Chain A
Amino acid sequence: MSKTAGNIKSIPAEKFAFVNRGEKLTDTKFVDKPVGYLKDAWIRFCKNKGSIVAAVIILIILLFAFLTPAFFTKYDQTFMDVYYAKKAPRNIWLRDHLGICSGTVTRDFNERGMLVLIGIGIGAEDTQGTGKVTLEEGMASYYQPMKEIGDPQEITGMIGSKDKTIYTCELDTYLEYGFQYQSIEQSEYKKIKEWESQTGLQVLYPLVEENEWNLEPTNANYWYKTKKGTPVTVNARGKAKEIAYEPGMVLEDNYVRDADGNPVYYMFTGGGDVDTAQYKVRVLYYNYYRYVNGFEPEYLFGTDSQGYDLMLRLASGIKLSFLVALVVSIINFTIGAIYGAIEGYYGGTTDLVMERISDILNNTPFIVVATLFQLHYASKLGPIPCLLFAYVTTGWLGMAYRVRTQFYRFKNQEYVMAARTLGASDARIIWKHIFPNSLGTIITSCVLVIPGVIFSESMLSFLGIVKLGTEKTTSLGTLLADASSIWMNYPHLMLFPALVISLLEICFNLFGNGLRDAFNPSLRGVEE
């Protein structure tokens, strides 16, 4: 021990050397980049799988809304076809390959009603107007609306009605409309004829005689002879015999025929020269649609109650609802942040007075505010600004409350006092020193405002307090409101908007919760 000590003492001076003479001693630089508040929040947000999935779904819905008019649908916003209103989703490719989206519904028919629809297919197959097409050939037709016919069921014992037989059938709603009378000019007639020979599809079908065997002269689907709706054959003496619905059934046609017995395809109804002469013709509407538009009717989401493409309406509804929600969120953020900051920072009497004001606004039912704005200003300013005003009147309260709480927490901390001692102005202390502390809560509540607005907009539209729908634009709530009285028979009208709203609500809540956790530093390390 003493020996070692002696050795240390007797180290000669020349053996010593300066470790870093002439070098500056500084802290070593960080190898990694510093992780700031936002970056830290981002890292923790990314760990939350549910929120990521939710964010992706929201993005997909947004992309759907913005890309639909350009990519996913062949219709534009003004395209409307009254005959194809309220139709179920239909897509030819999906129908042929996967058997979904066939545009069919299941409905109950009595025999008469069923025969009219079967007749459409038979009539469409009868391209030459011979009247010799059998039931089986008609059922195999491409234009046959009855896709499947169920077994007959006897309904008995119904109070107040006779016993009857019903058939549960699968019906292609796009073909259900069948034939239609149209008045066209001769030039148009020629064009259709030309189109027919090019494509091999038939648009024009023989006209129907208006006689005692024609049940409804305006309904072009009664092309066969009926007696009070029951199909009959008529013999030379004018005696009618009912045709039974059975295999091999042939309906007797009631076509207008010329002297040679050939069916007549047009009737001159008036007009002057070669081009403007008016023709009455009978068209198969499905093929007429193809002639006019160049494609078969197919709507992936079906059509709405007026005949617009539901997918397009949905996209525009999502856009409008989002836009409203976003604007409200931004305005609320601005007002709420300023109000809450002033309240929280100054405290005392200012706080008391401002709290009373927000208390009064907070306790006024939102629905009353929205109603009053609509009643007072909807005719002058339009419904959308009124809705925005209503949201802005009460919407910022939550934000102001949160900011105020944050200010109460931070305003007496030492660093704020230090800033004040150094002569920082109130505005600087508020915005530079205290406000950033509440950024996390503010961003979170900004996001959580969006589902709230989308929900209450849909509610107000549904209740009829706000009427946002026009020809060009619509909102998600308006779509629901449109469907509300008829949706049981056309479930798709309700399904798609309700699905989108539900998805948006779920995803935004998940996303918002994820953000809230990510912005809360006290939760760091708790999850693992």
Chain B
Amino acid sequence: MLKYVIKRVVLMFATLFIIVTICFFLIKLLPQDIPQEAAQQEAMMERLKAQGYDKPIYVQYYRYLRNIFTHWDFGTSWKIQKMQPVTELFIERLPPTVLINLYSLLVSLPIGILLGIYAAIKKNKWQDQVISTSVMIFVSVPSYVYAFLVQYFLYFKWGLLPPTVYSLADAGGSWFTFQMFKSMLPPVIALAFGSVASLCRFTRAELTETLTSDYMLLARTKGLTRAQATSRHAMKNAMVPILPMILGGFIDILAGSFIIEQIFSVPGVGQLYLTSINQLDYDVFMMDTVFYTFVGLLAGIVTDLSYGFIDPRIRMGEK
């Protein structure tokens, strides 16, 4: 088991390294524009020289990696925040993304799973038909459509919630004030529609399968009531594939959703990415790329490995 985990982690970092290398070269090949102002130009040239930008590209890459490993330096932002280290800029943008996605996951987890369980228990009855049909629709409709609906009704028509997420200064200087929470509700709701639907669909599919299996029949024959058998036997087994998915979802929180951040002007990681490519701030772009790749890989590996931890029957890495 341990050997397998180590193997997977090493493989993950190898993949990350290759992707980062390719992206680094592709981004470095893009034309860099130098600011017009003399003082800025000088400052930038100096910084660039320190990073070895007059050297061949592989030397630049070597220095880039060395800077990351020695003092966690991913470069400097030139356009978005003048001369600020990218890591600082990046860490500033992380909380709103994480918070919004965390809230949304916390809201949709219970609703989605409960709806899924209900639909599975009422399989092929009208309740199930209603839930399954609406889930089908909610899964298919793109997330930005919910964003528009939420914005239109909750802000424009009824005036209940603000249209966009407040900036830190407007909400009293903290990400955890009530005002901030209120302004985060629209994106949270918009995100929740889709994830409730997909969770519900997944739970229903897994649970209907376990409900019809033989050990359920045995449990009933032993004299357990339907509720007992479902909660003690079916649920546990149905959770085996659901829990890894949830864990993967928690990692994906970091990445967030570009389009939701754009619509609700969340000052998050996704928006940082968009601004960085609009303004061609390459170091920021590069760091965002590394981040997204890493998060994706991590979510995959956590999902895969958690199967082994959750279900002792599954032996990871066996042929």
Interface residues of A (CB under 8 A from B): 356, 359-360, 363-365, 367-368, 371-372, 375-376, 451, 455, 458-459, 462-465, 480, 484, 487-488, 491, 494, 498, 501-502, 505-506, 508-510
Interface residues of B (CB under 8 A from A): 15-16, 18-19, 22-23, 26-27, 29-30, 136-137, 139-142, 144-145, 148, 151-152, 156, 258-259, 262-263, 273-274, 277-278, 280, 285, 289, 292-293, 296-297, 300
Least CB separation from B151: chain A residue: A488
In the bound complex, do residue B148 and residue A494 qualify as a contact, i.e. CB atoms below 8 Å apart?
Answer: yes
Per DSSP, chain B at the interface is: helix
In the bound complex, do residue A501 and residue B142 qualify as a contact, i.e. CB atoms below 8 Å apart?
Answer: yes
In this complex, which of B145, B262, B278 has the most chain A Cβ atoms within 10 angstroms of its Cβ? B145
In the bound complex, do residue A360 and residue B292 qualify as a contact, i.e. CB atoms below 8 Å apart?
Answer: no
In the bound complex, do residue B141 and residue A480 qualify as a contact, i.e. CB atoms below 8 Å apart?
Answer: no
The 7 closest A-B pairs by CB, nearest first: A506-B140, A505-B140, A365-B292, A502-B141, A509-B140, A368-B289, A498-B145
Question: In the complex, A19→B210 CA distance in Å?
Answer: 59
In this complex, which of A375, A501, A508 has the most chain B Cβ atoms within 10 angstroms of its Cβ? A375
Question: In the complex, A506→B140 CA distance in Å?
Answer: 5
In the bound complex, do residue B136 and residue A372 qualify as a contact, i.e. CB atoms below 8 Å apart?
Answer: no
28 CB-based A-B contacts, threshold 8 Å: A356-B15, A360-B15, A363-B16, A363-B296, A363-B300, A364-B22, A364-B23, A365-B293, A367-B258, A367-B273, A368-B289, A371-B277, A372-B26, A372-B27, A375-B30, A375-B280, A376-B29, A458-B144, A459-B144, A459-B259, A463-B258, A488-B152, A494-B148, A501-B145, A502-B141, A502-B142, A502-B145, A506-B136
Residues of chain B contacted by A356 (CB below 8 angstroms): 15
Q: Contacts A363-B15, A376-B26, A510-B136: A455 and B142 contacting too (C-beta < 8 A)?
A: yes
Question: In the complex, A505→B300 CA distance in Å?
Answer: 26
A-B contact count (CB 8 A): 87
In the bound complex, do residue A506 and residue B137 qualify as a contact, i.e. CB atoms below 8 Å apart?
Answer: yes
In the bound complex, do residue B296 and residue A491 qualify as a contact, i.e. CB atoms below 8 Å apart?
Answer: no
**Shortest CB distance B201–A (Å):** 11
**Extra inter-chain contacts (9) besides given A376-B26, A502-B142, CB under 8 Å:** A356-B15, A363-B19, A363-B296, A371-B277, A459-B259, A488-B151, A494-B148, A506-B137, A506-B140
Residues of chain A contacted by B278 (CB below 8 angstroms): 464
Least CB separation from B139: chain A residue: A509
In this complex, which of A365, A376, A455, A505 has the most chain B Cβ atoms within 10 angstroms of its Cβ? A365
**Shortest CB distance A242–B (Å):** 35
Residues of chain B contacted by A506 (CB below 8 angstroms): 136-137, 140-141
Question: In the complex, A494→B262 CA distance in Å?
Answer: 16
In this complex, which of B144, B152, B156 has the most chain A Cβ atoms within 10 angstroms of its Cβ? B144
In the bound complex, do residue B136 and residue A365 qualify as a contact, i.e. CB atoms below 8 Å apart?
Answer: no
Residues of chain B contacted by A375 (CB below 8 angstroms): 30, 277, 280
Residues of chain A contacted by B22 (CB below 8 angstroms): 364
Residues of chain A contacted by B263 (CB below 8 angstroms): 484
In the bound complex, do residue B292 and residue A368 qualify as a contact, i.e. CB atoms below 8 Å apart?
Answer: yes
Residues of chain B contacted by A498 (CB below 8 angstroms): 144-145, 148
In the bound complex, do residue B142 and residue A509 qualify as a contact, i.e. CB atoms below 8 Å apart?
Answer: no
Least CB separation from B141: chain A residue: A502
In the bound complex, do residue A487 and residue B23 qualify as a contact, i.e. CB atoms below 8 Å apart?
Answer: no
Residues of chain A contacted by B26 (CB below 8 angstroms): 372, 376
Question: In the complex, A455→B151 CA distance in Å?
Answer: 20
Residues of chain B contacted by A505 (CB below 8 angstroms): 140-142
Question: In the complex, A372→B274 CA distance in Å?
Answer: 12
Question: In the complex, A459→B142 CA distance in Å?
Answer: 9
Residues of chain B contacted by A372 (CB below 8 angstroms): 23, 26-27
In the bound complex, do residue B141 and residue A463 qualify as a contact, i.e. CB atoms below 8 Å apart?
Answer: no
Question: In the complex, A136→B140 CA distance in Å?
Answer: 52
**Shortest CB distance A132–B (Å):** 43
In the bound complex, do residue A463 and residue B262 qualify as a contact, i.e. CB atoms below 8 Å apart?
Answer: yes
Residues of chain B contacted by A484 (CB below 8 angstroms): 263
In this complex, which of A368, A458, A465, A501 has the most chain B Cβ atoms within 10 angstroms of its Cβ? A368
Question: In the complex, A356→B17 CA distance in Å?
Answer: 13
